[in-house]
């Protein structure tokens, strides 16, 4: 008589007491099924082993490897005790087949021969837990089954804990990401609130300046001045007025968290003309070639004319800044599908830095470094989305960036 136990891989890394503590802490539950499968072509051997095992275990028996495989596919098992010398399929072949079918039971091989080759197969191919030689004694079988079951329970419990740990890690990672987003949102709101208070004071001063400018405009209208001077004044007033509206939009959103639209049917061509007229105040416009392309007979869109013009002005100025007089800027308006109008602003600049692409339309993100607050594209997105539209930045194949603003067309009751 004799036996050889194959040391489980990783044995000794964690004690039974530690596993029990983890099971209790994380409510893993018992991983013991209590199932033991006995496989032997000698019915008497099966009867003897069943007699001293069935009081503690749920015992199943089979007279061949094929019958054992069928049982293993139907019932949960902890341990399989198989005789090596059986017709059709040996014990090692049975355990190897069970492993291929992912039955996570420990295998015990019984043989009457001191066969080193069988021993090697049992360990390397079937990964048997224990190797017992005949004739065996009942206490020896009972002890081997108990040890094998304990090993299986430990392995299953560890796998369960690892799976639980992975899931908890994913949940923790998701929670941390949600917390980060919330913290970022709070920070944005605080900064928006600060900007809102500042813009409120600047808006008050600008309104006073606008009163003076309007008075100058009224006086000039009564006198004879050169057309260029009159145009400069008109453009200056338009620029200050647009800045005033931008500050009002920022203050409105910082104060209420929403934008109020004064929507009315607007001609897309007029929106583009307004934006280009205001953009003429930018010195970069005089150094750059601007191509304007507006499709004929575009449907009108329900829009807050001032706010949507503000979006286009921002995109045009960004394009002028990116081009810096070394290329062309293209602005266009066309129908998109049956129910949308698309505005596009393209430049021949260096394109959007990869590190900024995912944050381009978020607040306080600017490609201009210290020259910008990073609110222009953020406000543009808020305004476009308030119109039930969408805004996107795309890389041009020939270099540069293309911004697209897509706005739904006016419903019939607003189109007249």
Domain ranges across the chain? 2-166, 259-415
Taking only Cα atoms into account, the Rg of the chain, rounded to an integer number of angstroms, comes to: 40
pLDDT recorded at residue 71: 92
Confidence band of 134 (pLDDT split at 50, 70, 90): confident
Which long-range contacts (C-beta less than 8 Å, at least 24 apart) are formed by 154-162? 154/8, 154/14, 154/16, 154/19, 155/8, 155/104, 156/31, 156/104, 157/19, 157/22, 157/23, 157/28, 157/31, 158/14, 158/19, 160/28, 160/31, 161/22, 161/23, 161/26, 161/28
**Between 195 and 125, the higher pLDDT residue:** 125
Q: In terms of CATH architecture, what is 259-415?
A: 2-Layer Sandwich (3.30)
- For helices 138-221 and 16-26, the axis angle rounded to 10 degrees is 40
Q: What pTM, to 2 d.p., does this model score?
A: 0.48
**Between 347 and 214, the higher pLDDT residue:** 347
Q: Which top CATH class is 2-166?
A: alpha beta
**Between 316 and 361, the higher pLDDT residue:** 316
DSSP 63-81: SSHHHHHHHHTTS--SEEE
pLDDT recorded at residue 347: 92
2-166 shares its CATH topology with 259-415: no
The rounded mean pLDDT for the chain is 80
Comparing 177-181, 238-242, 392-396, the range with the smallest average pLDDT is: 238-242
pLDDT at 126 over 80: no
- H or E element, residue 193: helix 138-221
Q: How far apart are the C-alpha atoms of 163 and 157, rounded to whole Å?
A: 10
What percent of the chain is predicted at pLDDT more than 70? 75
Could you tell me the CA-to-CA distances from 377 to 368, 384, 385, 403 in Å, in that order?
Answer: 12, 10, 12, 10
Q: What stretches of 318-369 adopt beta strand conformation (E)?
A: 328-336, 340-346
pLDDT recorded at residue 181: 74
pLDDT at 92 over 50: yes
Tens of pLDDT, residues 26-78: 777 778 889 999 999 999 999 999 999 999 999 999 999 999 999 998 899 99
pLDDT recorded at residue 372: 47
pLDDT at 234 over 80: no
pLDDT recorded at residue 414: 46
What percent of the chain is predicted at pLDDT more than 90? 29
pLDDT at 200 over 70: no
């Amino acid at each position: 008589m004799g036996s050889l136990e194959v040391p489980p891989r990783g044995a000794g890394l964690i004690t039974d007491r530690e596993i029990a503590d983890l099971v209790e802490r994380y409510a893993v539950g018992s991983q013991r099924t209590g199932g033991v499968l006995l496989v032997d072509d000698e019915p008497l051997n099966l009867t003897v082993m069943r007699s001293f095992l069935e009081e503690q275990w749920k015992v199943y028996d089979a007279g061949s490897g094929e019958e054992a495989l069928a049982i293993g596919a139907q019932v949960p098992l902890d341990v399989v005790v198989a005789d090596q010398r059986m017709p059709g399929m040996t014990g090692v072949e049975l355990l190897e087949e069970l492993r291929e079918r992912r039955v996570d039971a420990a295998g015990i091989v019984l043989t009457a021969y001191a066969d080193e080759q069988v021993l090697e197969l049992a360990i390397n191919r079937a990964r048997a837990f224990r190797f017992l030689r005949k004739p065996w004694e009942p206490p020896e079988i009972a002890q081997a089954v108990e040890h094998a079951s304990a090993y299986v329970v430990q392995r299953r419990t560890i796998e369960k804990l690892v799976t639980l740990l992975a899931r908890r890690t994913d949940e923790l990672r998701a929670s941390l990401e949600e917390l980060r987003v919330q913290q970022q949102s709070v920070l944005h709101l605080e900064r928006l609130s600060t900007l809102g208070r500042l813009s409120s004071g600047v808006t008050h001063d600008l309104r006073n300046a606008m009163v003076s400018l309007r008075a100058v405009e009224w006086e000039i209208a009564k006198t004879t001045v050169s057309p260029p001077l009159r145009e400069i004044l008109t453009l200056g007033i338009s620029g200050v007025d647009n800045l005033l509206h931008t500050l009002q939009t920022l203050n409105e959103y910082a104060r209420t968290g929403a934008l109020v639209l004064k929507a009315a049917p607007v001609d897309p061509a007029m929106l583009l003309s307004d934006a280009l007229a205001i953009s003429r105040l930018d010195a970069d416009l005089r150094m750059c070639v601007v191509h304007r392309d507006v499709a004929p007979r575009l449907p009108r869109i329900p829009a807050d004319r001032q706010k949507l013009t503000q979006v286009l002005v921002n995109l045009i100025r960004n394009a002028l800044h990116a081009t810096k007089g070394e290329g062309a800027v293209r602005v266009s308006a066309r129908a998109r599908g049956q129910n949308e109008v698309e505005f596009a602003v393209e430049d021949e600049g260096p394109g959007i830095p990869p590190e900024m692409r995912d944050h381009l339309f978020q607040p306080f993100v600017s490609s201009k470094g210290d020259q910008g607050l990073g609110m222009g594209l953020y406000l543009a997105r808020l305004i476009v989305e308030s119109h039930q539209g969408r805004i996107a930045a795309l890389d041009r194949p020939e270099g540069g960036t293309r911004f697209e603003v897509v706005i739904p067309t006016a419903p019939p009751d607003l189109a007249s």
